[in-house]
Structure 1
Amino acid sequence: MSRPLVVLYGYESSTFTWKTRHVLRLKQIPYTFVTVPTMMPRPILRDNFNLTYRKIPVLTIGSKDLYCDTSIISEALEHFFPQSEGFQSLYPATQDGRTYRSLIRGFASYWTDRPLFRTTTGLMPASIWRSSFGQDRAQLIGHKLDPDKLEKKLPENLSRLDLQLSLFEPLFAETDGPWLFSTKTPSLADISIYYQLLWGEHISSGRYSNHISEGEIQNDAPGEIMSEVFNAERYPAVVTWYHRIRAYFDELPSTEKQLDIEQVLDEMKRSPALGPKSLLLPTPRSAHAELSAKTGLKEGALVSVVPDDTGRDDPTIGTLLAISPEEVVIRPQALEEPATLETRIHFPRIGFVVRPVPQPSL
């Protein structure tokens, strides 16, 4: 059976690109990686897919389905590349035979992807915030950033990391097995902590300053500042697990190849589409028809989708194709030029606000 093409669009120093790369590697899904700029604009996404969404990564499956945000990217990969077809699960059974999929999803979305991410981001060298990258992220956040003030907050942010590690330590000390929640193999929960700590070590040490600033910062080596709190003496269970999962991923073969966008577009045109039955990921219940009607979220409506934290000034506008309690799918509104490929853009409803676009009165 021909499998749909999987393409990840991101950049090397992107936190959440690291997350999805680890998901793909754990599941051993073959995929193509396309590098996009660390800062706006990103013509690869805007021109080819009419995508105005600012955050990275995004992922396409097949010839027309594009997924935004790592929470729904992970769910789509788990659904279309299931354990029953030989792919490793992000939600393996625990030692007692249970799975904790909903708990692990919430753990990632509401803990590691938010407060832990804000903590590791706070360890970035101030030189990054003084570069064009800092200006770009100020636009994303919606207010100016003061690099000097952020630099002075480093001890405070290290203290916040210490808090996070203090919360993690009992989870690893008390687990019945090598992995979080006593699963038989690493789960999305393990990935969710690992990618943040690994990225935090790299970015705080200055190893990605040149890349993330697109060459503006030539040399930036503040040292291994995370080790002040992230060390085996202070948090032995976390550090032991950290070395274990790092070795686990090092032993997994890479499933990534890299192509330029023109090659990818040609492959996408030949790739099988997911089909109408795959428009929405499975959920326990379908959309609540009465609430959808009251909120104006009916199929065919023109809607706006924005994150509920940052990037709210860059809505994605399009025609609502389908909606569930957990997902919204739109056909993006045409921009100045038609998109190279017709796409269906999928967003999670966790972390996003979906509203109808007011129409002018006649």
Structure 2
Amino acid sequence: MDDLILHQYEASPFSEKVRLVMGMKSLAWRAVTVPMMMPKPDVVALTGGYRRTPFLQIGADVFCDSALICRVLDRHAPAPALYPAAASPLQHVIESWADSSLFWCAIPLAMQVGGLAQRMAGESPEFMKAFAADRAALTVGRARPGPADNAAHLATQLRWLESLLADGRPFLLGPVPCIADVAAAQSVWHLRRAPLMADTLAQFPRVAAWYTHVNAFGQGRPTPMSSAEALEVARSSTAFASVRVEPDLGFEEGARVTVAATDYGSDPCEGALVGLSLDEAVIEREDERAGRVRVHFPRLGYQIKNVKH
């Protein structure tokens, strides 16, 4: 069986979400450290333009977006279940909220109150300027609330989590962990890395206790891998995950299409459509360095467009 290769970097919140799943399932995985900002030539060789972090590689299959990566990992290692029936469909709603609304107030606020300076300690002014420009390009078109707004938004959402935990349950939806827990935990993890957020987090003791349970999952068993090695894995692979284009979804098998995120980092990836369902879109593309690869995207949060000739 091909290795699980996670392309990530240490300070990436969505990478932490996936690392917690690796830990929950006690998985061995290869860790490729990708650049924090563009240019990312080895990333683009595998994804065709998708620049967000992380993405998961299994052979020549490349899975983008943490929501899809988590589903792939759960199929790869079904026990313990990441989507237990006991957690109800509410777990998917909470994941979607945590990956969007909670994330987009927690992460900017942590940076605004000094988290960015701490994380970038020792970097040159030129690097800081380039990083700011990179993130501005990544989030073009998004509103940028100030610290007071983000602090108010965060307090409201942490109160929601505190209320969920009021009956003493160890996890958000009951006695067993689920996707909701790792999705919400990534933002708390990031907040905890900003020293000036300590007083805010101290107001939510149940959230702190819950996070201790989730953080105890660990990160599984990572071993380093270079991006050159990962490219060679893709280039030498000859098998792909089984996919098909389901009927009546508006696109034909083999059509030349682009796939792009609809929220941020909306760089389009172009290829031949080889898989499509209500859950996933898959394009096949050729790259001179990575060879023939198939890039998988979740259907939710992404748009598909036919390429006009």
Q: Same fold (TM over 0.5)?
A: yes
Query: Is 1:82 aligned to 2:82, yes or no?
Result: no
Residue of 302, 318, 330 corresponding to 2:271: 318
Q: SS of the residue aligned with 2:50?
A: coil
How far residue 169 of structure 1 moved from its aligned partner, in angstroms, is 1.1
* Paired residue type of 1:342: R
- Aligned pair in 2 of structure 1 residues 182, 126: CA closer, same or farther (>3 Å)? closer
Residue of 132, 149, 156 corresponding to 2:149: 156
Check conservation: 2:234, 2:293, Cα contact below 8 A. Answer: no
Residue of 225, 228, 231 corresponding to 1:262: 228
TM-score by length of 1: 0.75
Unaligned runs of 5+ in 2: 118-127
Residue of 108, 112, 115 corresponding to 1:122: 108
Q: SS of the residue aligned with 2:292?
A: coil
Distance in 1, Cα, partners of 2:158 & 2:187 = 12
How far residue 66 of structure 1 moved from its aligned partner, in angstroms, is 0.5
How do 1:86-97 and structure 2 match up within 5 A?
88-92=80-84
Distance in 2, Cα, partners of 1:81 & 1:144 = 36
Residue of 303, 325, 334 corresponding to 2:257: 303
Distance in 2, Cα, partners of 1:228 & 1:159 = 14
Q: SS of the residue aligned with 1:322?
A: strand
What is the match of residue 241 of structure 1? 210
Distance in 1, Cα, partners of 2:112 & 2:73 = 34
Query: Is 1:43 aligned to 2:35, yes or no?
Result: no
Residue of 168, 184, 191 corresponding to 2:161: 168
What is the match of residue 208 of structure 1? none
Unaligned runs of 5+ in 1: 206-223, 281-285
Distance in 2, Cα, partners of 1:41 & 1:274 = 28
What is the match of residue 121 of structure 2? none
How far residue 253 of structure 1 moved from its aligned partner, in angstroms, is 6.9
| Offset from partner CA, 1:55-93 (integer Å, 9 cap, x none) | 1111112x211000000110011112222xxxx221235
Q: SS of the residue aligned with 1:8?
A: strand
* Paired residue type of 1:227: A
* Paired residue type of 1:338: E
Distance in 2, Cα, partners of 1:274 & 1:307 = 23
Q: SS of the residue aligned with 1:182?
A: coil
How do 1:180-191 and structure 2 match up within 5 A?
180-184=172-176, 186-191=177-182
Query: Is 1:106 aligned to 2:59, yes or no?
Result: no
How far residue 38 of structure 1 moved from its aligned partner, in angstroms, is 0.4
Q: SS of the residue aligned with 2:35?
A: coil
Check conservation: 1:52, 1:316, Cα contact below 8 A. Answer: yes
Residue of 50, 65, 71 corresponding to 2:67: 71
What is the match of residue 331 of structure 1? 284
Check conservation: 2:6, 2:29, Cα contact below 8 A. Answer: yes
How far residue 272 of structure 1 moved from its aligned partner, in angstroms, is 7.8
- Aligned pair in 2 of structure 1 residues 133, 305: CA closer, same or farther (>3 Å)? same
Q: SS of the residue aligned with 1:298?
A: coil
* Paired residue type of 2:112: P
What is the match of residue 200 of structure 1? 191
- Aligned pair in 2 of structure 1 residues 68, 199: CA closer, same or farther (>3 Å)? same
* Paired residue type of 1:112: A
Check conservation: 1:4, 1:274, Cα contact below 8 A. Answer: no
* Paired residue type of 2:210: W
- Aligned pair in 2 of structure 1 residues 132, 179: CA closer, same or farther (>3 Å)? same
How do 1:197-236 and structure 2 match up within 5 A?
197-202=188-193, 205=194, 224-231=195-202, 234-236=203-205
User: Greater Rg, structure 1 or structure 2?
Assistant: 1
Distance in 1, Cα, partners of 2:288 & 2:238 = 22
Distance in 2, Cα, partners of 1:253 & 1:342 = 30
* Paired residue type of 1:259: M
TM-score by length of 2: 0.87
Using the aligned pairs only, state the percent identity: 30
Residue of 23, 26, 32 corresponding to 2:24: 26
Distance in 1, Cα, partners of 2:22 & 2:238 = 20
* Paired residue type of 1:322: G
- Aligned pair in 2 of structure 1 residues 144, 305: CA closer, same or farther (>3 Å)? closer
What is the match of residue 345 of structure 1? 295
What is the match of residue 211 of structure 1? none
- Aligned pair in 2 of structure 1 residues 309, 301: CA closer, same or farther (>3 Å)? same
Residues matched between the structures, number: 297
Check conservation: 1:299, 1:321, Cα contact below 8 A. Answer: yes
| Offset from partner CA, 1:283-315 (integer Å, 9 cap, x none) | xxx84x33x3xx3x1101111111111123x21
| Offset from partner CA, 1:255-282 (integer Å, 9 cap, x none) | 1000212333445566684543xx26xx
